[in-house]
Homo-oligomer: A and B are copies of this chain.
Amino acid sequence: MTDRPVFEAATAVTPLGVPDEAGRSLWAAEVAEGWDILGNTNGGYLQAIASRAAAAAVGRPDPVTMTGHFLAPTGAGAATVDVEVVRVGRRFATARATVSVGDRAVLTTLGTYGDLSEPDDDAPTLVTSVPPELPDPDDCVAHEPGGGPLPPAFAGKVEMRVHPDDMGFVEGHASGRALMRGWFRLRDGEPVTSHALVCAVDAFPPTIFNANLPTGWTPTVELTAHLRRRPAPGWLACEFTSRNVTGGFLEADGLVWDADGHLVAQSRQLALVSRG
């Protein structure tokens, strides 16, 4: 894996045999060391492994909409991805992909895959979302591992620069807004593919850390990513918000914009909120 870019290597999948008559195929993967938060592998990274296997199985380069349901936390280790093709159409193909580490299923997904290499910019357009206002990356806070348990190892596998106003929680000065904004890219100039976007939308610290609420761990139940286009080279501007922390649940909504100002991904996850 030494010559491949870090993300590509860490999400590589290899077919194990040929698909069966029902279109089911098994893929070998490796949940790599260091993509974890306190020992638990990042969910978006895991989902990107599933995305790569499913896209390869259906012969389409890009996830278009992909949903993962998280079944169990996992550390690093040898993994398999079990892919079932549901439908192959002219433009899109739909498949399920389940990631198991050892013999334990940790993530099951349902996605529709296609080709985002030529976005339909002639289609009717009306965008009222706006990219977040972010200081230059050099004026943001580098979210990367230091000497302690947090920031997590995972933060060292990608590059994140967080809006200074959204990092107050680290020193006990949370803003009171369930908001997290920052820049994202992969290390060493590795291009952010549509698969890597699935990781990007789950990469930043939780919005809830800024909300001044007495809560602890907020495990993700479900994560859906819509991929609109492949990003232009450069930093991605990301914004995550939670507007409805209620009933023991929260949603975290994400928008990711590329350096050309295009919306490239939109995400939502549902997480559990427990008392801290």
Contact = CB atoms under 8 A, between A and B. Distances in A.
A96 interface: yes
Interface of A is mostly: strand
A245 interface: yes
A112 B69 contact: yes
B213 A124 contact: yes
Interface in A118-174: 119-129
A211 B128 CA distance: 11
B249 A122 contact: no
Report the interface size class on chain A. Answer: 35 or more
B124 A275 contact: yes
Interface string A207-245: 000010111000001101010110000000000001111
Interface of A: 64-65, 67, 69, 71-72, 86-87, 92, 94, 96, 98, 105, 108-112, 119-129, 178, 211, 213-215, 221-222, 224, 226, 228-229, 242-249, 251, 255, 262-263, 266, 268, 270, 273-276
17 contacts: A65-B221, A69-B111, A86-B108, A92-B221, A96-B108, A112-B222, A119-B247, A123-B247, A123-B275, A124-B273, A127-B245, A127-B246, A128-B178, A222-B224, A246-B262, A247-B263, A251-B266
